[in-house]
Every structure is written in structure tokens, then in C-alpha cells.
Structure 1
């Protein structure tokens, strides 16, 4: 389970921050279901994705090593969400290295 304020990657949304985790129900007496409230980092969209049994592939953000490998791939050139995520990881790493 992801945590609030965690930055994650969604294959359909791209780089997102888990803004909140909420329980929603279709009716007042119906069972409630937990949802991630995801805010995209680059185009200000908000999506509600069920915590369990979701169809969307969600994963932890790429490591620096994974990002470097992906940057050399064909997929990086073709997939805008992937490109943005890889560039984000590499930019954050450079920024942190410069601060030390």
C-alpha cells in the first residue's frame, strides 16, 4: 500500500503524488472502498484509483539505475509519461547531488 505524499508511477497517468487515501461508498449504507487520490505532477489531473483490485498499474517511482537504463530504451522515446517520470528521477538526483 502506498502512503500519503508518496511519489509513484502510473502507466496511464505518469508521475503522481498520493494526495490522500479516502473511503468512498456508492450509497450511504453500502460498503466503503478505499481509494488513492492521485494528483499528476505534470498536468494537474486528479484520479481516484481503488487501493485494491485496481486495473491501473501503479508502482514505486523508478530508482536512479532503472531511470538511467530506461533513458536509453525505445520505450522512453515513445512514451511521454515514461519520459517525464525518468527525467523527473534523474533531475531530482542531480539536484540532491548538487546540494551535498
Structure 2
């Protein structure tokens, strides 16, 4: 796989956006899957290079990884779907600051 961009992953944390990991975005191809599963609308495949701080190792993923991993700490050097809204690409505008926490359901 060819890495197309380097940058970071962010996640909502209470009332702000928190930088949680460094990543590489992967190219979006027609019928592209992540671990054999279709990538959900609004998500992209990312490779997790390292975690910004050990406090984020237990951050729960929106979808389990192909090996069943469910936390960010378990997928370092792996590929996972990540919400496009929370992918930072250098030179692009950062996601807006949240005024309230996200729902516990990632599909909302």
C-alpha cells in the first residue's frame, strides 16, 4: 500500500478536540475494504504510527480492528477505519472545536 499523507488523528474529549495519534492516510480506492469489511461512509483507512500520549492507549475504536482489537493502543502499526472528520492532513483546515461531547454511539 502506498502512503499518501502523513498527519494526525484527533478525537472528541469532553468539550474539545484532543490530538491522540500520528497516522498515515491510505488511498481510497473503489470497493476498498479494511480487514475485509467495507469502510463505513464518512470513514477512511488510516495506519496508526504511534500514539501521542499513553493516556490515549485505552481510547475505544468506533469499529474493532481486523484482529478484534478495540482500543487505539492495540492497533499501533496497524490499519483501522477512522472518522474523516477527525483526520488532520497538514495544510488543511483543522476540524471544528466541539461545544459538547459526542454521543456514545459513533454512528450518530
The TM-score normalised by the length of structure 1 is 0.30
More helix by share: 1
Q: Which has the larger radius of gyration?
A: 1
More strand by share: 2
TM (norm. structure 2) is 0.29
